Structure 1
Amino acid sequence: MAIKERDEENAVQENIREPLMRSGGEGSGHGSSKEDPWMVYLSTFVAVCGSYEFGCCVGYSSPTQSAITADLSLSVSEYSVFGSILTFGAMIGAITIGPITDLIGRKWALRVSCAFCVVGWLAIYFAEGAWALDIGRLATGYGMGAFSYVVPVFISEIAPKNLRGRLTALNQLMIVSGVSVSFVIGLVVSWRALALIGLIPCAVTLFGLFFIPESPRWLAKTGRHQDFEVALQRLRGKDADVSLEAEEIQDYIATLDSLPKAKLLDLFQRRYLPSVLISIGLMVCQQLGGINGVCFYVSDIFEQAGFSSTIGTITYAILQVVVTGIGASIMDKAGRKPLILTSASGLVLGCVLTAIAFFLTAEELALSVAPILAVTGILIFIGSFSIGMGAVPWIIMSEIFPINIKGQAGSLATLVNWFGAWLCSYTFNFLMSWSTYGTFILYAAINALAILFVILFVPETKGKTLEQIQVAINRERNEEK
């Protein structure tokens, strides 16, 4: 069996290498001066409205807690269920959306995601008790988990290689924008009005989907070759020469079609294992480094450190949006790997500074310096996460899987991400009760391990087509043998 599998892998390598290498140069048609990317930009805008909706779902519970609790007479435990059930909905969305996306296409998967969010927001708006609230929150969680997979995959499949990084990074920028805007708007409108406002990004996405093409790679994979050529031409511009890019995609799809249809257990075969481990490893590094604990309880952290929670939280929200935008703008110039290494290094520094601040507070030493160190550490942590660790794992996840296993593998990686998010947020208060400075020392150690993982295992995908990335991963694995 091992010999047979190796023969199949060698066949894949031989079949795809020639067209990929032939079309990989600057004059191959991928960077043609006649290309007009306006349809790519429009399609990306429609898709990232789903990312903004993701942020609206996350940001809803914080500014509405006191009003919902008072209006519906909810206990603390009932509101806690309402807040946390979002993550469980996202896990369900992560498990199911990959196969759905492969079956009905990227555009219809976006419609499904929107539908769940619409139902969820309406249930919350009309809620008169805890059950309706929870059902609505679970539905918006499902839509949020689905968006977290579909949006980066769709963008990575429609974008030319020279724009793919920065366009996919807009996913993270729109998420943090949605969180920040929902927090601010939630301070001045009622919780029911804020639920209705959450419908707006869904409406924009559903309307915009009528005007943009489906993913050409998905159309090719499903055998709709005429639609594939039309979609690719629309995305690259009517005067662009797409023949070589189309040939490259079709050659790769034809090779994949010669292999058995992938099942979940197939992800752990030798040919797919490097991509799966890289993606899951990055998701673990992203979530267990402490980001959700810091985000969910940032006000409490500032208060424990003796700093104004209002000023700190507003600064945090602005910094998050600005730095994420900077990261998105330089993604395709700096490269994925340098950005994530810089990000992880900053996370270590931020954790160390925050740990020192809490240690000084616990030992009642240099009490005038501790708040400044804590704020500096948290802001460095947030800024560092926003410039790389927030967006890059999702970008790489959308790039490194072959299209025949992208649905199954993407669902697995997204599920790991959401489970890590729940684990981090659930354990944060327990860790802080154990030791405030010990908590951030632990996070610093995890982020240091993330640096080592990225150096050893994560490939650079900047400037490569999705098909060329597969060739590079396969070549590295074969050289290791």
Structure 2
Amino acid sequence: MERESTEGAGLINSSLLGNGGGSGDEAESGSSATAILVFSTFIAVCGSFIFGTSVNALLTLKFKRKKNKIDQSVESVSISHIYFCVIDWYIVTNAYMTTLQIGYSSPAEKGIIDDLGLSVAEYSVFGSIMSIGAMLGAVMSGWIADLMGRRGAMGISDIFCIMGWLAIIFSKAAWLLDFGRLFIGCGVGILSYVVPVYISEIAPKNLRGRFATVLQVMIASGSAITFFIGAIVSWRALALIEIIPCLVQLLGLFIIPESPRWLAKIGQEKECEAAIHRLRGGSADISQEAAEISDYTKNLQLLPEGRFLDLFQQIYARSLTVGVGLMVLQQLGGANGISFYASSIFESLGLSGKLGTIVMAVIQVPMAIFGILLLDKSGRRPLLMISAAGTCIGCLIAGLSFSLKDHRLWKEVTPALAFVGIQVYVGSFAFGLAGIPWLIMSEIFPINMKGSAGSLVSLVNWFSSWIVSYIFNFLMEWSSAGTFFIFSGIGGLTVLFGAKIVPETKDRTLEEIQASMNPLTAARRQTSWN
């Protein structure tokens, strides 16, 4: 069966928000961004905005400790990632600590502690329990998305988040705060999987990369907006505002179409074709796309229904290696450790922690947008490798500055060198490594294994994030320069991983990608064509 030519497909309708018009060929191929496709993507990425606002709501918690009568300020992570074990390290391992005083970086923060009289441990559990919920949500995400569909999974996540924020708004005690954050975490864990999967399954192949990675921009935007809102409103008002994107997505789910590929998987072929028609426009020729989805789904039905243990069969070995490998390398490269503790890193060098974190926030959004504009032209793998190389160089520069500082060399240069290195790292990470692993994860697994695979990959990502957050302070105590050199080495390893193992998925349908990744499926598919 002859394939549709994809030459130059990545250049069709270069504007992400095209109107679906264009040439006749473009309309026939359904490769333009129609209004319903843009709207469906917007509703889906509201989940990423929820992700960004939830993770960064109520912002940072500051601790002060005294050692040998010398004040040392340690400004911690976004509170949703202040894991209890990290607080335990401060309180238990550092037996020399004589005082522990709470400082506040926003009125919302001060209000929640003053109003409810939370202790340090209670406030820490309040922040950390969201990550536990996210791991639970990640475990459930694939099963829910397969059982209830992609829209259903997003709806369930919205309900979790709304219940969580309502619990926080009406809380009168610490346990209700913990209950709320646990539910928010469950919702975010589900969203982190289902949003990129839904977008990858509804977007045409030449625009899939740009649409899927818009989620990274929304996460960054949600974080920035929450930062500013949290500084001017009370914590209960902030929690109320956080419900708005949840409601927008929940209501929008009644309008947008379900994923055609999920509809085909459950045997609803007419509904599948209707969904494709809505997404591609009434004048688009969807016959080839619909036939390819139907053909691939029928071939997958020859295989047993995907179970978790089936993931470890040889036919899925490459997909699993790529998916898990990218998530591990993304997190072990130090992203969360550096971003969470950036303020204290800058202050240890005699720089302004607030200025450094503001510059970090300003850099992320334009770099993420720049990566989106290039993604469907240059491809996933080149951008992934460039991004990883940038993180490698950034950490190398930062590590060099700390090494010079340790040896008391170039004292006037080392702070600026570290500042530049960290900003290079943050910008490079936002450029590609932040979003591309999630995009590739949504593309490489066949529909019968996508639920189990998505749950595993999402869980690996959250768990790896927890590991880095936990060990970062230990590493910095051991050697600041060595810590950044390790992260630099992992960035270099990511470049090699991308060059040798990660497939290029640009301008290929999901069925073509999955068939090439899973040889048994490809063989059966080829047999059916012949």
TM category (shorter chain) comes to over 0.9
Matching of residue 71 in structure 1 with residue 115 in structure 2: yes
Q: Are residues 1:138 and 2:135 paired?
A: no
Q: Find out whether 1:58 has 2:55 as its counterpart.
A: yes
Contact 1:23 1:248 in 2 (8 A): no
Distance 1:413 1:357 in 2: 35
Partner of 1:357: 401
The Cα of 1:467 is off from its aligned counterpart by: 0.6
Once residues 373 and 235 of structure 2 are traced to their aligned partners in structure 1, the CA distance between those partners, rounded to angstroms, is 34
Q: Which stretch shows the higher mean deviation, 269-278 or 66-75?
A: 66-75
Aligned to 1:411: 455
Tell me the equivalent position of 2:103: none
CA contact (8 A) 2:516 2:522 kept: no
| Aligned equivalents of 1:97, 1:386: Cα separation in 2 | 25
Q: Which one-letter code corresponds to 1:38 in the other structure? A: A
Segment drifting more, 37-46 vs 470-479: 470-479
* CA distance 1:364–1:324, change in 2 (3 Å): same
| Pair 1:202 & 2:199 matched | no
Superposed, 1:229-308 pairs within 5 Å as 229-308=273-352
Asked if 1:22 corresponds to 2:16, the answer is no
Q: Percent identity?
A: 52
Name the residue aligned to 2:12. none
Instruction: Say if 2:164 and 2:183, in contact at 8 Å, map to a contact too.
Output: yes
Q: Is the 8 A contact 1:348 1:444 kept in 2?
A: yes
Contact 1:93–1:146 (CA under 8 A) maintained in structure 2? yes
Supply the AA of the counterpart residue of 1:92: L
Of 5, 11, 27, which aligns to 1:33? 27
Task: Single out whichever of 43-52 and 449-458 deviates more from structure 2.
Answer: 449-458
Between 1 and 2, higher relative CO (CA 8 Å, sep ≥ 6) is seen in 1
**Alignment of structure 1 residues 59-138 onto 2, 5 Å:** 59-62=56-59, 63=106, 64-138=108-182
Aligned length: 460
Which structure's residues are more often helix, by fraction? 1
Amino acid in the other structure paired with 1:217: R
* 1:423-464 C-alpha deviation (Å, 9 max, x unpaired): 111111111111111111111111111111111100000010
Unpaired segments ≥5 residues, structure 2: 10-22, 60-105, 524-530
Match of 1:61, SS state, is coil
Task: Check whether the contact 1:162–1:463 (CA below 8 A) recurs between aligned residues.
Answer: yes
Give, in angstroms, the shift of residue 474 of structure 1: 3.8
TM-score w.r.t. length of structure 1: 0.92
Structure 1: gaps of 5 or more residues: 1-17
1:465 aligns with 2:459: no
3-state SS of 2:258 partner: coil
Which residue in the other structure is 2:480 paired with?
A: 436
Which is further off, 250-259 or 74-83? Answer: 74-83
Equivalent position to 2:264, from 220, 241, 244: 220
Residue 476 of structure 1 deviates from its aligned partner by 11
Contact 1:61/1:83, CA 8 A, preserved across alignment: no
Q: Is the Cα–Cα contact under 8 Å of residues 323 and 441 in structure 2 kept in the other structure?
A: yes
CA distance in 1, matches of 2:483, 2:152: 43
Amino acid in the other structure paired with 1:51: S
**1:47 matched to which residue of 2?**
44
Q: Which residue does the alignment assign to 1:7? A: none
Displacement after TM superposition at 1:375 (Å): 0.9
Offset of residue 79 of structure 1: 1.5
2:379 equivalent to 1:398 = no
Q: CA deviation at 1:49?
A: 0.4
Provide the C-alpha distance between the structure 1 equivalents of 2:187 and 2:287, rounded to a whole number of angstroms: 37
Distance in 2 (CA, whole Å) between partners of 1:429 and 1:129 is: 31
Q: Is the 8 A contact 2:138 2:189 kept in 1?
A: yes
Provide the C-alpha distance between the structure 2 equivalents of 1:217 and 1:85, rounded to a whole number of angstroms. Answer: 35
The equivalent residue for 2:196 is 152
Q: Specify which of 333, 336, 340 is matched with residue 384 of structure 2.
A: 340
What's the TM-score, normalizing by structure 2? 0.84
Alpha-carbon shift at residue 126 of structure 1 (Å): 1.4
Q: Is the contact between residue 134 and residue 185 of structure 2 (CA under 8 Å) also seen in structure 1?
A: yes
Counterpart of 2:528 in structure 1 is none
CA contact (8 A) 1:30 1:161 kept: no
Change (3 A) 1:151 1:477: closer
